[in-house]
Chain A
Amino acid sequence: MDHKIYILIVEDELEVMDALVKDLENFEAFFPVETANDTREAQEVIDYIIDHGHRIGLILCDHVLPGKNGVDLLIDLQSNEDTIKSKKVLVTGQAGHEDTILAINKANLDHYISKPWTEEGLQEVVRNQLTDYVIENEKNLLSYMQILDAEKLSEAMRTKKMTDH
């Protein structure tokens, strides 16, 4: 398994970005974190990662961003085959009802985190989403047992074995 599975964080406020990265440190050994401060940079980083044969497992995206807003970016990424399978999470300080509905309906939003977040809350969301991602997209699940949801992974492996037989 040569390809890496990245976590991409899109956030324009540097202190907030700092805090998000810090809270996801534990995942880095398995899921390298990449960052972008706006939607254009996000697209460049995605292209770079994909071009190098890697994948994006999870996109954490701020709501209000320069250029396009986070919801629009997630909608775009949903229609892109490189990122259609990536788990998409919106992180927002303004729980705008309409935007959220739009994101859920059109960007197939997987989760919604409101600021301020807690370390445990954020890590739990990321763990669950990445677990789902690897179950859906990866063949060898064993190597993720120590970092992701072990119970869910072994359940998935049992089911897989049964269907394989």
Chain B
Amino acid sequence: MTDQQGISWLNDTGAILNFIRRLIKDLPELQERLMDLNEGDLLFSQGDPLEHMYLVLEGNITLTRTQPDESEVKLITLGPGSFAGLIAFTTGEPTLTSGRISQKGQALKMRPQQFEQYLNDHPRLKHPLQQLMLNNMIQRYKSNLRLQTRTHLLSKELNKERNDLKKAYAQLEETHQMLVHQEKMATLGELVSGFAHEVNNPASALMRAAENLVEIYSKFESSHYSYKLFRLGLQSTPVDSNTQRNRMLMIEKRYPWIHDRSSVRKLAHMSDEALDLIDANRKKGEMDTLINHYEAGKMIHNIRIASQRIANLVKSLKSYSRQDQNKEEHADIREGIQDTILVLSNRLKFIDLNLKFNDIPKTCANIGDLNQVWTNIIVNACDAMKDQGKLTISTEATDDFIFVKISDSGPGIPEHLIPKIFEPNFTTKNQGAEFGLGLGLAISSEIVGQAGGEIEVTNKTGGGAQFSISIPIREDC
């Protein structure tokens, strides 16, 4: 109580108390009402009906209230000049608090019924007591006001803290998901490198074996035409079944005496040069043997093609998942896009892929991370197009930025969803089993942001969605 009014009130109370003390000396029936306050004694308990009201003359009474959870809250300490039991006295209801003597002293103990009588019997007491009661009320009203203000401030602070917590929680959640994703990618990287090693071994064995076979063949088949047929088989290109059917009709006309369908099909595979070679040497060897020379070459060719494909896939997979996560490198972003396309070739099989790769400079970027971005956008596009349609990927550069644009021929994104599309947990893929936790684009946006770039999406006028990604050109890695 430091304010001016408080001090004047204290002075006032002191004066009143002195006045009352003098009165007590004069009035024996008041002296009878005096009681000693012994420190630690319980004056009254919360919930009890109150039979007396106390005017503290000396010492302190502390009011406490027991909470529903049994804990005790200290409410106020009443010093000289204060009334205890005032509210119970005025309302006649059980007391709201417990009163314990916290400092020994003296109090005037009065029964409510007697109070009115005192006032009437001792008009000199009436005014000071009324004044004291009023002061008490004023004091409690003031402390109530202070409490209200404090509660308000506290709840404001609490609200702010709750919002901060909410924000922190959301950030934590996002970070957690990013970490899980990174962890997954790291695990994938490890798996891929192990897998690549394991697969590269048999793939190299295959490739080497094929080359050795070619060499051995050249020694075995010394006759010129048979080796030449083998070489032609080695250079053969596969024939689609429609072309093959047409060529089979042609073969049936050219060799009407061949009825064996397998032989007809094999001849239909051959180039005209090979057929001419067969015709020229037909008398020297069995037809089947001649065909088989060519077939042998064709099969080794198939082994070459297939093992080369394995090797390429493994290479792309390895470079796609980039072991050295979180590492920036000075690289051409287009290579990462190419790797991504190869890794996703299964999804892109029936998509009309249109690449417009304008020259762009190398830049410092985490290529592995960016591959995630391309993957997410391309997979989303494939989903939107139901795996059939046109996918266009273009690159271009200004002095400071590289721009990658990926557009599809799907239905586009409903306008009202565009602002939400980069938020975590946003997904349109609701059938649980389907790919998508709704994190793909949120993570993409995070990755592009980390690279110092921007990602945005628009609907093209002709239909379909277009993602535009800008990446700053940097040389500082």
Residues of A within 8 A of B (CB): 14-15, 17-19, 21-22, 25, 28-29, 32-37, 41, 45, 64, 66-67, 98
Q: Give residues 306-350 of B contacting A (CB, 8 Å).
A: 306, 346, 349-350
What residue in chain B is nearest A26 (Cβ atoms)?
B262
Q: Are the C-beta atoms of B265 and A21 separated by less than 8 Å?
A: yes
Contact check: which of A19, A28, A36, A66 meets B241 at CB < 8 Å? A36
Question: Closest approach, in angstroms, between the C-beta of B193 and any C-beta of chain A?
Answer: 23
- Rounded to whole angstroms, the CA-CA distance of A36 and B242 in the bound complex is 7
Are A37 and B346 interface neighbours, CB within 8 A?
A: no
B477 contacts chain A at the CB level, 8 A cutoff: no
Cα–Cα distance between A33 and B263 once the two chains are bound (Å): 12
Query: CA A28 – CA B260 in complex, angstroms?
Result: 8
A94 shortest CB reach to chain B, Å? 8
A37–B240 CB distance below 8 A: yes
Chain B residues packing against A (C-beta within 8 Å):
238-242, 244, 260-262, 265, 298-299, 302, 305-306, 346, 349-350, 388, 433
Partner of A41, one of B242, B299, B388: B242
Residues in chain B near residue A15, CB distance under 8 A: 238, 302, 305-306
Task: Give the nearest-CB partner of A14 in chain B.
Answer: B238
- Chain A min CB distance to B252 (Å): 13
Q: How far is the CB of B322 from chain A (nearest CB, A)?
A: 25
Contact B241 A17 (CB under 8 A): yes
Contact B242 A37 (CB under 8 A): yes
Quick one: given A28-B261, A32-B261, are A18 and B302 in contact (CB under 8 Å)? yes
| In contact, B242 and A67 (Cβ under 8 angstroms) | no
* Interfacial chain A residues near B240, Cβ < 8 Å: 14, 37
Task: Report chain B residues within 8 Å CB of A19.
Answer: 302
Most A C-beta atoms less than 10 A away, residue of B240, B305, B306, B349? B240
Give, as a whole number of angstroms, the nearest-CB distance from B358 to chain A: 30
Chain A to chain B: the 10 pairs with minimum beta-carbon distance, closest first: A14-B238, A35-B241, A15-B302, A25-B262, A28-B262, A66-B350, A28-B261, A37-B241, A37-B240, A32-B261
- A25 neighbours in B (Cβ, 8 Å): 262
Residues of A within 8 A of B346 (CB): 64
Is there an interface contact between A14 and B239, defined as CB atoms closer than 8 Å? yes
In Å, the complex CA distance between A36 and B299 comes to 20
Interface centre among A34, A35, A66 (most CB of B within 10 A): A35
Residue of chain B at shortest CB distance from A31: B261
CA distance A14 to B350 in the complex (A): 16
Which of B244, B262, B349, B433 has the most C-beta atoms of chain A within 10 angstroms of its own C-beta? Answer: B262
Pick the residue among B241, B265, B302, B349 that contacts A64 (CB under 8 A): B349
B262 / chain A contacts, CB cutoff of 8 Å: 25, 28
Q: A15-B306, A34-B241, A36-B241 are in contact. List 10 more A-B contacts (CB 8 A).
A: A17-B241, A18-B238, A18-B298, A19-B302, A29-B261, A35-B241, A35-B244, A45-B241, A64-B349, A66-B349
The distance from the CB of B238 to the nearest CB of chain A, in whole angstroms, is 3
- B349: chain A residues at CB < 8 Å are 64, 66
In the docked arrangement, what's the CA distance between A140 and B329, Å? 72
Distance in Å: Cβ of A73 to nearest Cβ of chain B: 14
Inter-chain CA distance A75–B305, complex, in Å, is 33
Report how far A77 CA is from B239 CA in the complex, Å.
Answer: 26
Judge whether B261 and A33 touch: CB under 8 Å: yes
Shortest Cβ distance from A15 into B: residue: B302
In the complex, A10 Cα to B469 Cα: how many Å? 41
Q: Please, which residue of chain A has its CB at the minimum distance from the CB of B265?
A: A21
